[in-house]
Amino acid sequence: MYIYVCVFSRLYIPSVRFGANVLSSVFFCSEKTRPDLQYVAYTFWIHYYVGLESGTEGSFFLSCVKLVLSCSYVIVNDGASFECSTHVKMRDCSARSKFVRSWLKQASRAKVKICFALCAAVVIFVIFFGHCAIRFFQELYAMGKCPLNYNEKLKSQNELDSSLDLWSRVDVQTCTKWGAPIMWEGTFDPGDFDRHHIQKRTSVALTVFAIGRYLEVYLKEFLKSAEQYFMVELPVTYYIFTDIPEFVPKVKLMKQRHMKVIQVKNQKRWQDISMLRMKTIADFIESHIQHWHQYIFCFDVDQVFVGRFGSEALGETVGLLHAFYYRSHVKDYTYDRNPESAAYMVTGDFYYHAAIFGGTWQGVKNITEFCHQGIMKDKEKNIEALWHDESHLNKYFWLHKPSKVLSPEYCWSTIIGFRFDIRVHRLLWATKFYDILRT
């Protein structure tokens, strides 16, 4: 019952309102005045609405567990006969609650034990599989579709993008309404992209910030995995921005791969580190990168490459679909809703993840300068965007559409669990230690 309520509520099916009324009539109607049960039920619905607004299910599942356990206790210990509580302001119990009371009056001890066992099974399922289940059922929410006619190709100045087989993946959206490709496994030939960029002698810069404890915990695995999977056919230079250059790990690099360490100041708050990277990247593009590289990709350090992240990802400006929102409705996107913020958005096309963005050096310079300007405007008003630089990045891509969009394959979280449409993992979120690293 609660699993269904949870699933349907996250999918915003209107019948949840009816379900809420039924549950309230059942669990607020006990033989005695049950303040403990009423408290749990109230808590359940409060957590539900709070969780719905915040986009998290943790408190909601916790309330499910509390409610099931309390109801199991009542059933086993009270003989499970229900009557309307005098503390609930309603005229009478619903027909469904009367049916429940009638069944419980006739229940044998064996039935009660079976009921308790089922409740216990639900609790175990919720505890161990709750988050995976809700993410799995989110897949039933349909993505948008490529607006082109069936078998039609993209009309792009880039011949490689025009050759993409968009219709090999009818289960997902493979292009945007403004004609940019969304890169999914099965829509492109990796060899075609590699040969094209080798002939053009394309060189790529990768920037990553490893400040404070993030360097010790994440940087080495990030670099080692990048050497295995990131643009392996092309010349790449890693630009490591850190406050402790002497602790940057030594990693064996392949031919045509280089590493440069740039010292930056640490900040008191991790939010400031996240936001100030935009200015740092823009300045370094101006002073150095534009003279050596055609393309640049900017990464968060707390990630690990696990599959090909190749030249098919290169474009003038490149955004990444956030793994937690690519199948969500636009009203669930966590845009900044504060009208006072420079990042303010009412609606948008997608929700982009700031863990990865890239493009030509000129494209990335435009992105980072725009975001920095928005951050500074907010600082003058003594406000911060909801998700800091990510909120400003989403504003930029709303006003200036990216020329290429990467699917969540390019930055996946195992917390979400299995998805049929995610055929490969190219980059995975590393385990987060926010309580340690952000103190």
User: What per-residue confidence (pLDDT) applies to 397?
Assistant: 98
Residue 209 labeled ligand binder: yes
Residue 326 φ/ψ, nearest 5 degrees: -70, -15
Question: pLDDT tens across 240-274, in order?
Answer: 999 999 999 999 999 999 999 999 987 766 666 76
> Rounded to two decimals, what is the model's pTM?
0.72
Rounded distance between C-alpha atoms, residue 398 and residue 395, angstroms: 5
Contact 123, 73 (CB under 8 A): no
User: What per-residue confidence (pLDDT) applies to 433?
Assistant: 77
The structure tokens listed for 346 are 């009412």
User: What per-residue confidence (pLDDT) applies to 26?
Assistant: 43
Residue 210 labeled ligand binder: yes
Domains and CATH numbers, the chain: 2-138 (no CATH), 159-437 (3.90.550.10)
Residue 233 labeled ligand binder: no
Rounded distance between C-alpha atoms, residue 187 and residue 153, angstroms: 12
* pLDDT beneath 50: ranges in the chain: 1-63, 66, 73-93
Contact 194, 185 (CB under 8 A): no
Rounded distance between C-alpha atoms, residue 239 and residue 289, angstroms: 10
Helix (H) or strand (E) holding 193: helix 190-199
Residue among 242, 194, 191 at smallest CA distance from 215: 242
Which residues are designated catalytic?
A: 390
Torsion of CA 341, 347, 349, 354, to 10 degrees: 30
Residue 334 labeled ligand binder: yes
Residue 92 φ/ψ, nearest 5 degrees: -155, 170
Residue among 61, 40, 39 at smallest CA distance from 50: 61
Place of tokens 């630009």: 239
Residue 389 labeled ligand binder: no
